[in-house]
Amino acid sequence: MHARAFRRLEAKTQVFTQRYSDHFRNRLTHTIEVTQISRTIAAQLGLNADLVEALALVHDIGHPPFGHAGEKALDAAMREHGFSFDHNLHALRIVEDFELRYAAFRGLNLTFEVREGIIKHSHDYSADQHPELAEYLLDMRPPLEAQLIDLTDEIGYNTADLDDGYEAHLLTVDQIAGGVSVFDESFREVRVLYPDAPEKLQFNEALKRVFNFLVTDLITHTRQRLEKAEAHSVDAIRRHPERLAAFSAAVAQQRKQLKDFLHENLYFSPALEGEKEDAERIIGELFAHWMEEPDDLPRAYREKSAHDPLPRVICDYIAGMTDPFIYQQYEKYCGGS
């Protein structure tokens, strides 16, 4: 929590950039919400709550500015030069190399399990494709603490994005109820209980029920899977052929319906299209500028380019930027506004 990269999350986009509104979640507030959800579930399952909290706090630390649009644009720029960008792998580089907090070594003083969870919480990497990650037991599942994070992250952003989308007047209650069955059921229940309440409060009550429904199912079904697999140790969880943290099949389908609804009705909303186009243009043009004019990079990055590929150095620089700072850089070097 004391790392510079963590503080920068305050000024990085979740879904809505601050140019759209400053009322909605950013990467930092989203991270705090995911941490709270994760600790609650960890306590119910008897897990290491401190490890879960650390992994929740770090799970988005590798994201560039402008949310997923920024990640997509940065990856596209890197692929033009034979590289790629992955925010989990970038997060590992941040905590192992970029953060300078100790005189004795580079990076942060993190346990193996935290570093392992950074890269394995949401994705299984192949040892053949990523030999540099060989120490992280790529042929095994991560501990349950790490397995939870991708699922709690999804609970967090699915419910929060419905909330922010409604507050932004990009989604209506009728639209959500028509496309998300679990919300429709909850909203019908709430209208019976609170028929005279304003729609906003009815919406809040329904969304809380959706949230509780997802969290409860994740706890209950994960516990059932652990008992069925007789996985009573970390080693047994690691050696199990698949991840044991999971929603039930019925709820997984409802979760997918919710995710699909958000992609179709919010993330690709015409109202947000201009922000995404800005992100792609700004990152693409700045990347191209520094490839042509590497002397315009800060001295520390110019020095890094002496022994690291220039595209990777530029990628590292851009990925660490906040939204306001990258706008400043674009204005300075590309004359944008």
Q: How many residues does the chain have?
A: 337
Residue 172 confidence (pLDDT): 96
Structure tokens given for 160 = 């929060």
pLDDT tens track for 8-41: 999 888 887 666 666 788 899 999 999 999 999 9
Of the candidate ranges 119-123, 148-152, 292-296, the one whose mean pLDDT is the lowest = 119-123
Burial letters for 253-287: b for 16+ Cβ neighbours within 10 Å, e otherwise? ebbeebbebbeebbbebeebeebbebbbebbbbbb
Residue 244 confidence (pLDDT): 96
What whole-number distance in Å separates Cα of residue 55 and Cα of residue 151?
A: 12
What whole-number distance in Å separates Cα of residue 322 and Cα of residue 318?
A: 9
What whole-number distance in Å separates Cα of residue 82 and Cα of residue 98?
A: 23
- Within 8 A by CB and 6+ apart from 201, the residues are 194
Of the candidate ranges 41-50, 174-183, 267-276, 284-293, the one whose mean pLDDT is the lowest = 267-276
Average pLDDT over residues 54-71: 93
Residue 21 confidence (pLDDT): 64
**Helices of type H across 232-322:** 234-239, 249-262, 270-292, 299-304, 310-319
Q: Is 210 helix (H, G, I), strand (E, B) or coil?
A: helix
Of the candidate ranges 9-18, 186-195, 322-331, the one whose mean pLDDT is the lowest = 9-18
User: Bridge partners of 254?
Assistant: none
Average pLDDT over the chain, rounded to whole?
93
pLDDT tens track for 204-242: 999 999 999 999 999 999 999 999 999 999 999 999 999
Residue 17 confidence (pLDDT): 67
Q: Has residue 337 got a pLDDT over 60?
A: no
Q: Is 270 helix (H, G, I), strand (E, B) or coil?
A: helix
Q: Of the candidates 19, 5, 8, which has an alpha carbon nearest to the alpha carbon of residue 279?
A: 19
Residue 12 confidence (pLDDT): 87
Is residue 247 within 8 A of residue 151, CB to CB? The reply is: yes
Q: Is 296 helix (H, G, I), strand (E, B) or coil?
A: helix
Average pLDDT over residues 32-54: 96
Residue 18 confidence (pLDDT): 64
**Domains plus CATH for the chain?**
4-272 (1.10.3210.10), 274-334 (no CATH)
Residue 20 confidence (pLDDT): 63
Average pLDDT over residues 275-290: 93
Residue 16 is classified by DSSP as: S
Q: Has residue 335 got a pLDDT over 90?
A: no
- Within 8 A by CB and 6+ apart from 207, the residues are 159, 162, 163, 183, 186
Residue 336 confidence (pLDDT): 57
Residue 19 confidence (pLDDT): 62
Residue 14 confidence (pLDDT): 82
**Neighbouring C-alpha atoms within 13 Å toward the C-beta of 172:** 3
User: Bridge partners of 26?
Assistant: 13
* Percentage of residues in the chain having pLDDT higher than 70: 98
- Helical (H) or strand (E) element with 92: helix 87-93
pLDDT tens track for 64-116: 999 888 999 999 999 999 999 999 999 999 999 999 899 999 999 999 999 99
DSSP string, 172-226: -HHHHHHH-HHHHHHHHHHHHH-TTS-HHHHHHHHHHHHHHHHHHHHHHHHHHHH
